[in-house]
Amino acid sequence: MITISEAKRLVQEHTPSARVETIPLAKAHGCTLAEDISAKEPSPRFTNSAMDGVTVRFAENTTAYKLIGESAAGNPFSLPFSQKLDEGDAVRISTGAVLPDGADTVIPIEDVEIQGENILVKKLVSKGQWVRVQGAEYPQGACVLRSQTALRPAHIALAAQCGYAELPVFAAPHLGLIATGTEIITQIKSPHPRFAHPLPEGEGFRIKPSPSGRGLGEGSRLREGQIYDANTPMLQAAIESAGGVCTMMHHVADSLQASIDALSEAANVCDIICTTGGVSVGEHDHIKEAAQRLGFETIFWRVRQKPGKPLFFAKRENTLLFGLPGNPVSTLMCFIHYVQPVIASMRGRTHAWRVVRARMSKNLVNSGGRAEFLRVRLEYSAQNSLPEISAMMPPLAIPLEKQESFMLTSLTEADGFVFLDIDAHLEEDAPIDVMLF
């Protein structure tokens, strides 16, 4: 049995390098840019007007101009024979339209009076006013987006403005889920469209029952000794939230051959395989043996932690296998601590917890021989609602009474968890970091 820090180190050490793919702009939101992006054109691309009005060549104290034409957005005004705009001449112009050669100033339409071809200026004019100069934002060739940028809508717009229809991004890893247990009954009748991602070979998204057909059915009524499958939909949501793509799901009965068949298929199409259950020491736990028969190298099995002690981690070439425990709290806690950082790394991101500084509500001693992820809720006093004193009044971290690994309410009723290392002793009111879910 290894420590949490050693387990995390080994997972990080065996995480494959991120893949790069080029995708359309419409699909790039939320992705991480894999290369620097340079401007194909300057911004603005040409000197243009920031207002509707008239454009002129500035002349001190000139209050009357002659209208000689119009420059509209997308339809510039051109002088013949490469001439430049003369002093005393004016061109009507729209916002975003090209300034004619020789023009250097825009007078807003509300500051002039137009009488046929005569334009009278009603307000003092400054040279260069309301003009957007070519390259004022950035020149051609400038780096406008850096590699590792998490792409938001504004980044997509900037890439489009620079002439890009596609962007190189870090590809989302494909994950497969295998829920083990003859007792499990799935409630999933059909995959939600947001999980209906194609497999690399072009095969469709699928949910398969146990190859043995024993005790597993779609939406079936529970018989004695059976339970509904909570782990699969939970991990589907966790994968999507972490930025991965769930490409296949299996439910397998407690059979070595069924486990081998499911793992074999998953290993051919997935970057990461997550199994639930079947990794402890019972005679019906077959995941470790199935993985070994398929050539997976065991990196570690069992971590000195609570919950999640029987975590199994293995690798075959670039495919990672996380054998998660079967109890749902253990399943999710292992996923967010070990699988989620891998997904982040493969998408070019850095995983980090959202942390709140709090105070322990009571004395805590961890004498159980394993580090513990203790689920807590945060209680804020009335004074904490005042921003000016909230930093002085951190919330109380109150451990939930029911902490067993099968109790999903220890997750739904918690705001986060505190980490209690082996032999840790926390006194009441001691400052503590709460990692938020």
The pLDDT value recorded for residue 173 is 97
Kind plus residue range of the DSSP H or E element containing 313: strand 312-316
Domain of 109, in residue numbers? 48-132
391: helix, coil or strand?
A: coil
Kindly state whether residues 198 and 308 are assigned to the same domain: yes
**13 alpha-carbon distance from chain centroid:** 22
End position of a domain, from candidates 132, 162, 186: 132
- CATH for 333: 3.40.980.10
Q: pLDDT tens digits for 69-107?
A: 999 999 999 888 778 999 999 999 999 999 999 999 999
**Distance between CA atoms of residues 274 and 249, nearest Å:** 10
What is the full DSSP assignment across 40-59? Answer: SS-BSSS-EESSSEEEE---
**Distance between CA atoms of residues 310 and 31, nearest Å:** 33
Verdict on whether the full-model pTM lies above 0.95: no
Kindly state whether residues 429 and 307 are assigned to the same domain: no
The pLDDT value recorded for residue 393 is 85
**Distance between CA atoms of residues 24 and 26, nearest Å:** 5
End position of a domain, from candidates 77, 109, 132: 132
Kindly state whether residues 164 and 198 are assigned to the same domain: no
Q: What is the DSSP letter of 221?
A: P
Kindly state whether residues 248 and 331 are assigned to the same domain: yes
**Ramachandran angles phi, psi of 316, nearest 5°:** -135, 115
Kindly state whether residues 211 and 274 are assigned to the same domain: yes
The pLDDT value recorded for residue 236 is 96
Beta strand pairing call for 355-360 and 431-436: antiparallel
Kindly state whether residues 160 and 176 are assigned to the same domain: no
- CATH for 392: 2.40.340.10
Kindly state whether residues 218 and 337 are assigned to the same domain: yes
Kindly state whether residues 313 and 205 are assigned to the same domain: yes
Beta strand pairing call for 48-49 and 131-132: antiparallel
End position of a domain, from candidates 346, 378, 407: 346
On the question of pLDDT at 383 being above 80, the answer is no
- CATH for 68: 2.170.190.11
Cβ atoms of 186 and 249 within 8 Å: the answer is no
Kindly state whether residues 12 and 25 are assigned to the same domain: no
- CATH for 36: 3.90.105.10
The total number of structural domains in the chain stands at 4
**Distance between CA atoms of residues 334 and 309, nearest Å:** 9
Kindly state whether residues 100 and 146 are assigned to the same domain: no
The pLDDT value recorded for residue 420 is 96
Q: What is the mean pLDDT of residues 281-310?
A: 96
215 or 385, which is more confident:
385
Supply 424's token pair. Answer: 């840790």
Kindly state whether residues 104 and 247 are assigned to the same domain: no
Q: pLDDT tens digits for 261-271?
A: 999 999 999 99
Kindly state whether residues 240 and 146 are assigned to the same domain: no
Q: pLDDT tens digits for 175-204?
A: 999 999 999 988 765 444 333 333 333 333
Cβ atoms of 58 and 128 within 8 Å: the answer is yes
Q: How crowded is residue 75: how many other Cβ atoms within 10 Å of its Cβ?
A: 11
208: helix, coil or strand?
A: strand
